[in-house]
Amino acid sequence: MMTTTMPNFLLSLCILESLLHAFTEVNVQASEFQLEGDYLVGGLFDIHHVSTLVYHDRPEAIDCSSPLFLSSYRRFQVMRFSVEEINNSTELLPNVSLGYEIFDHCSDIQNFPATLNLISVNGSIQPWSEPHKNLSRVSKVIAVVGPFSSTETLTVAPLFMMNLIPIVSYGAASSAFSEKSKFPSFLRTVHSNKNIIEVIVNIILHFNWRWVAFLNSDDEFGIDGLELFIKRTENTDICMAYIKLLNDNVNYTRMFKQIEAQKINIIIVFAPKRTAEALIESAIRLNVTNKVWVAGDTWSLNEKLPKEKGIRNIGTVLGVSQPVVAIPGFNDFIYSSKSWNDCENAGQKFCNEFCNSSSLSAEDIVFIDPSFSFPVYSAVHSVANALHNVLQCGVGKCNSNITVYPHMVLAELKKSNFTLLNQSIQFDENGNPKFGRYSIVFWNHSGAIEEIGFYTFFPSINYVIDNNKIQWYTDGKVPSSQCSRECPKGYAKRQNGIHKCCFACEICPNGTFVNSTDDHYKCVNCKDTEWSAEGSTSCSLRVVEYIPFTDIGAILIMCGAWSFIGLTIATSVLLAINYNTPVVRSAGGPMCFLILSCLTLSSLSVFFYFDKPTECFCILRSLPFILFYSVCLACFVVRSFQIVCIFKMAAKFPMLYSWWMKYHGQWLLITGTFVTQALLLLIGYSCGPPKPYNETLWYPEKIILSCEIGLKANSGPVILLLFLACLCFIFSYMGKNLPKNYNEAEAITFCLFLLILTWIIFATVYMLYRGKHIQTVNALAVLSSLYSFLLWYFLPKCYIIIFQSQKNTQQYFQGLIQNYTKTISQ
């Protein structure tokens, strides 16, 4: 009976102590968890881990006797070694002994007794009655090192925050702890998840991976990492094709089938060591092959998994790890220490702290995963240096008259600036470290973990990966992981579905380009002064082209125009001298001078087809020619009509001929044509005047300076011009059978034929060619239209006047008319 009740009594006593926050002082000789000293530092280490919670109907102390986690036990020993090293130092805290009280933080949510013990004084907790009073009742420790995980820290941290007891964590990486309004006395010697995620994202970008799965633990650490990863990859080409929270209820078979179905080759595992081990072991068991696994710093240096049978089958494992920093003297401390191997009896405990390490060897501790050892070492030294400053320690002594409170140590911790193993230990305003780096590691085929690169944050970012050291499962070639293949240069992406990594490629047409550094999903239009070919990634400046006055073609045409003006003046003078001769009178008499004047004025248009077009130039290109050439055609319509009337209609329609002569019908028609054309031009130019135009459609690489002539605005004048030409052709064709030597209608018909042929040729060229020389061709067509009447209508008259004066007599013309009259009367 006594045997049964005694253990229950001891257990109840321990529970009572926990619940009442009144631990009695227990001195266990050679206990690893306690060391007396002038100042105490608390320690929280998850040496064991209770994952399965058991329901109970009465208060019970948690049993931390589950299997030992060697890596955590090593970190626990690092703290013990650090304190011993500090106590043996003559420079740091001289003549001051540092003690510790360490608890096995084996549960995320049920270790409050340990926390309450640390913030108690003489076994009791008394909240302040007034600010700044009873500071001596705040805590028996000046600071706490730990806990390790973010969930553990999030659970207990608020209890330390209210009294500004410094917590220096060596593993809690959640970004939530950077919020100083919630965690004012929290510091850490590891970088936050934000930095870890930054390194992982850079690794993915380095190898051009886009289609990834993100597997994270279902706790504060994993969820924080997931949120940071989503935020960090928002403006990148990385797509999370698959997300899964890892917990005890995960169906690994279904999960890996879903990953395989989506053809995901890159798997990021952001989880604690125990969760990652279960995941990888399941992948080996389920024969998951040909993947790249990106490990977080919590399991990248795992000593067990790289040696597992079948580990090579799962693919290639890369990871981000805490750098392995050799701590001088630590191995000697382990080899010389007897506390881990010489407990007074197996199962020795300090309340719930079990000394069950009797089966361990020194090598087990020395060669276990060294992750987070230096963060523990630097955390303890940070507290010691802060206490050193609070006590105003100098050479060989400290000020023993100073009463030390936790908030004083916190103030000095924030100002930390000392060198430890060649690293400058400092904290930023959020309590995050301003020192350290990350190693990038690879699990090689021999089962060893090899460093292949690094990522430093301070004093500046430096990032290196040696690709040649990686043994890819693809035999040397970097594996790819993309939903869609990258588009060739000059192609824009058109997203398919919800993921931006899934897309179709569409080539950017002429005049657009895809900006590969800005937006891959849009073809951007070039500026008006730029051009691009199909499938371009940038625009080029267009070459501006026009015909200057100095162009050889322009010079020749302008010389032709000046020659034309000279010939028309000379012709006018010759006709004026011989005005009363039959040839001049038969050519139209005074109408000849009107025709020649209009031809001269029409020739002015030629000079405005060259040089840079302006609005004035564009108007003068067409206005003189259309207006005055219409008058010329009206004159020839009248001449053609009169010729037909004289020889045919006068005999058949004498009344019509008489009316025509009486009311000067020819001048009425010419005046009406001029007025009508002038009104049409005025209306058309008012609605849409010709204006400079940059032709870019025909030659994308060029800007052809030309004039834009609106069809609606100019359709009226052009239609009238065409109507006059057709009417003139009809009348002149009707008189083609007149006397050979007097057949002016035949000359007019031939002139009109040349006119029509000229503009048909120009229209054909215009349909096929729109380069800068089209202006030269246009000016040549105008000049040809003018020369056709001068050369084929007036030049023969001048020839008769000068060289065949015998034909320029009244008797000669009357003889021709009489002979033709006899012919048609028969």
| pLDDT tens by residue, 649-662 | 666 667 776 776 77
Query: Contact 220/176 with Cβ under 8 angstroms?
Result: yes
Facing residues of 43 across strands? 102, 145
Query: Contact 211/233 with Cβ under 8 angstroms?
Result: no
Confidence of residue 127 (pLDDT cuts 50, 70, 90): low
- State residue 568's pLDDT score: 95
Separation of alpha carbons 42 and 119, rounded Å: 9
- The tens digit of pLDDT for each residue in 743-761 reads 577 788 888 899 999 999 9
User: What number is the average pLDDT over the span 564-579?
Assistant: 94
DSSP labels, 61-124? -----SPP-HHHHHHHHHHHHHHHHHHT-SSSSTT--EEEEEEE---SSS-HHHHHHHT-BTTB
Query: Contact 321/297 with Cβ under 8 angstroms?
Result: yes
In residues, how long is the chain?
826
Facing residues of 462 across strands? 456
State the pairing for strand pair 449-456/462-465.
antiparallel
- State residue 23's pLDDT score: 35
Q: What are phi and psi of 145, to 5 degrees?
A: -100, 120
User: What number is the average pLDDT over the span 224-242?
Assistant: 93
Exposure of 44 in the CB half-sphere (CA atoms within 13 A):
34
For tokens 């060391």, the residue is 35
- State residue 342's pLDDT score: 46
Lowest average pLDDT, out of 192-201, 342-351, 469-478, goes to 342-351
DSSP labels, 787-809? HHHIIIIIHHHHHHHHH-GGGSS
Query: Contact 189/433 with Cβ under 8 angstroms?
Result: yes
For tokens 């320029």, the residue is 808
At position 520, the amino acid (one-letter code) is: H
Coil/strand/helix, residue 332? helix
Separation of alpha carbons 524 and 537, rounded Å: 10
- State residue 688's pLDDT score: 82
User: What number is the average pLDDT over the span 525-534?
Assistant: 87
- State residue 700's pLDDT score: 81
Phi-psi region of 823 (alpha: psi -120 to 50; beta: other; left: phi over 0): alpha
- State residue 109's pLDDT score: 67
Which comes out higher in pLDDT, residue 119 or 179? 179
DSSP labels, 644-699? HIIIIIHHH-HHHHHHHHHTTHHHHHHHHHHHHHHHHHHHHHHHS--EEEEE-SS-
User: What number is the average pLDDT over the span 353-378?
Assistant: 79
- State residue 366's pLDDT score: 86
Confidence of residue 11 (pLDDT cuts 50, 70, 90): very low
Topology given in CATH for the domain delimited by 193-237+250-257+267-321+444-469: Rossmann fold (3.40.50)
User: Can you state the percent helix, strand and coil of the chain, rounding each to 5?
Assistant: 45, 15, 35
Confidence of residue 15 (pLDDT cuts 50, 70, 90): very low
User: What number is the average pLDDT over the span 398-425?
Assistant: 93
Separation of alpha carbons 174 and 270, rounded Å: 12
- State residue 115's pLDDT score: 77
Quickly count: other Cβ atoms within 10 Å of residue 796's Cβ.
15
Separation of alpha carbons 70 and 272, rounded Å: 14
Instruction: Select the highest-mean-pLDDT range: 122-126, 444-448, 568-572.
Output: 568-572
Confidence of residue 241 (pLDDT cuts 50, 70, 90): very high
Query: Contact 788/751 with Cβ under 8 angstroms?
Result: yes
Q: Does position 134 have pLDDT exceeding 70, yes or no?
A: no
Quickly count: other Cβ atoms within 10 Å of residue 467's Cβ.
11
Q: Does position 250 have pLDDT exceeding 50, yes or no?
A: yes
- The tens digit of pLDDT for each residue in 211-223 reads 999 999 999 999 9
- State residue 740's pLDDT score: 52
Name the strand (E) or helix (H) holding 273: helix 273-285
User: What number is the average pLDDT over the span 101-107?
Assistant: 86
User: What number is the average pLDDT over the span 425-451?
Assistant: 92
Q: Does position 255 have pLDDT exceeding 80, yes or no?
A: yes
Instruction: Select the highest-mean-pLDDT range: 97-101, 530-534, 540-544, 808-812.
Output: 97-101
- State residue 6's pLDDT score: 36
Q: Does position 9 have pLDDT exceeding 70, yes or no?
A: no
State the pairing for strand pair 491-495/503-507.
antiparallel
Phi-psi region of 274 (alpha: psi -120 to 50; beta: other; left: phi over 0): alpha
Confidence of residue 817 (pLDDT cuts 50, 70, 90): low
Name the strand (E) or helix (H) holding 420: strand 418-420
Name the strand (E) or helix (H) holding 249: none
Q: Does position 204 have pLDDT exceeding 90, yes or no?
A: yes
- State residue 10's pLDDT score: 36
- State residue 624's pLDDT score: 93
Quickly count: other Cβ atoms within 10 Å of residue 801's Cβ.
19
CB neighbours of 165 closer than 8 A, spacing ≥ 6? 118, 119, 138, 139, 141, 143, 144, 185, 406, 410
Q: Does position 418 have pLDDT exceeding 60, yes or no?
A: yes
Which comes out higher in pLDDT, residue 126 or 430? 430
Coil/strand/helix, residue 431? coil
Q: What are phi and psi of 691, to 5 degrees?
A: -145, 160
Facing residues of 268 across strands? 214, 294
Q: Does position 593 have pLDDT exceeding 90, yes or no?
A: yes
Query: Contact 104/45 with Cβ under 8 angstroms?
Result: yes
Q: Does position 349 have pLDDT exceeding 50, yes or no?
A: no
Q: Does position 592 have pLDDT exceeding 70, yes or no?
A: yes
Query: Contact 796/746 with Cβ under 8 angstroms?
Result: no
Quickly count: other Cβ atoms within 10 Å of residue 485's Cβ.
9
DSSP labels, 477-498? SPP---SSPPPPTTEEEEE-SS
Pick the CATH number of 552-821 from 2.40.30.10, 1.10.10.10, 2.40.30.20, 1.20.1070.10: 1.20.1070.10
Facing residues of 214 across strands? 243, 268
Structure tokens at 424: 């400058």
Query: Contact 596/794 with Cβ under 8 angstroms?
Result: yes
Confidence of residue 53 (pLDDT cuts 50, 70, 90): low
- The tens digit of pLDDT for each residue in 269-286 reads 999 998 999 999 999 999
Structure tokens at 124: 């009791």
Q: Does position 7 have pLDDT exceeding 60, yes or no?
A: no
State the pairing for strand pair 353-355/418-420.
unpaired
User: What number is the average pLDDT over the span 348-371?
Assistant: 67
User: What number is the average pLDDT over the span 801-815?
Assistant: 79
Please, what is the average pLDDT of the chain? Answer: 85
Q: Does position 347 have pLDDT exceeding 70, yes or no?
A: no
CA distances from 300 to 150, 271, 314, 525, 577 (A): 18, 10, 15, 48, 113
- Show me where the domains of the chain are located: 32-50+63-125+136-190+368-433, 193-237+250-257+267-321+444-469, 491-541, 552-821
- State residue 338's pLDDT score: 55
Q: Does position 59 have pLDDT exceeding 90, yes or no?
A: no
- State residue 117's pLDDT score: 82
User: What number is the average pLDDT over the span 766-787?
Assistant: 93
Query: Contact 435/391 with Cβ under 8 angstroms?
Result: no
State the pairing for strand pair 691-695/702-708.
antiparallel
CB neighbours of 138 closer than 8 A, spacing ≥ 6? 119, 121, 128, 163, 165, 405, 406
Separation of alpha carbons 597 and 631, rounded Å: 10
- State residue 311's pLDDT score: 92
CB neighbours of 460 closer than 8 A, spacing ≥ 6? none
Query: Contact 755/746 with Cβ under 8 angstroms?
Result: no
Maximum C-alpha span of the chain: 170
User: What number is the average pLDDT over the span 48-52?
Assistant: 72
CA distances from 490 to 112, 407, 502, 641, 781 (A): 62, 62, 18, 65, 43
Confidence of residue 436 (pLDDT cuts 50, 70, 90): confident
Separation of alpha carbons 301 and 296, rounded Å: 9
For tokens 């009425």, the residue is 668
Separation of alpha carbons 468 and 380, rounded Å: 39
CA distances from 741 to 583, 729, 744, 808, 815 (A): 11, 20, 8, 11, 11
Structure tokens at 712: 């609606």
Confidence of residue 812 (pLDDT cuts 50, 70, 90): confident
Confidence of residue 628 (pLDDT cuts 50, 70, 90): very high
Q: Does position 455 have pLDDT exceeding 70, yes or no?
A: yes
User: What number is the average pLDDT over the span 728-734?
Assistant: 80
At position 68, the amino acid (one-letter code) is: L
Separation of alpha carbons 689 and 686, rounded Å: 6
Separation of alpha carbons 479 and 472, rounded Å: 7
Domain 32-50+63-125+136-190+368-433 in CATH: superfamily?
A: Response regulator (3.40.50.2300)
Separation of alpha carbons 171 and 152, rounded Å: 10
Which comes out higher in pLDDT, residue 474 or 125? 474
Identical fold for domains 193-237+250-257+267-321+444-469 and 552-821, yes or no, is: no
Structure tokens at 793: 């209508």
- State residue 28's pLDDT score: 34
DSSP designation for 469: G
DSSP designation for 551: S
Query: Contact 382/187 with Cβ under 8 angstroms?
Result: yes
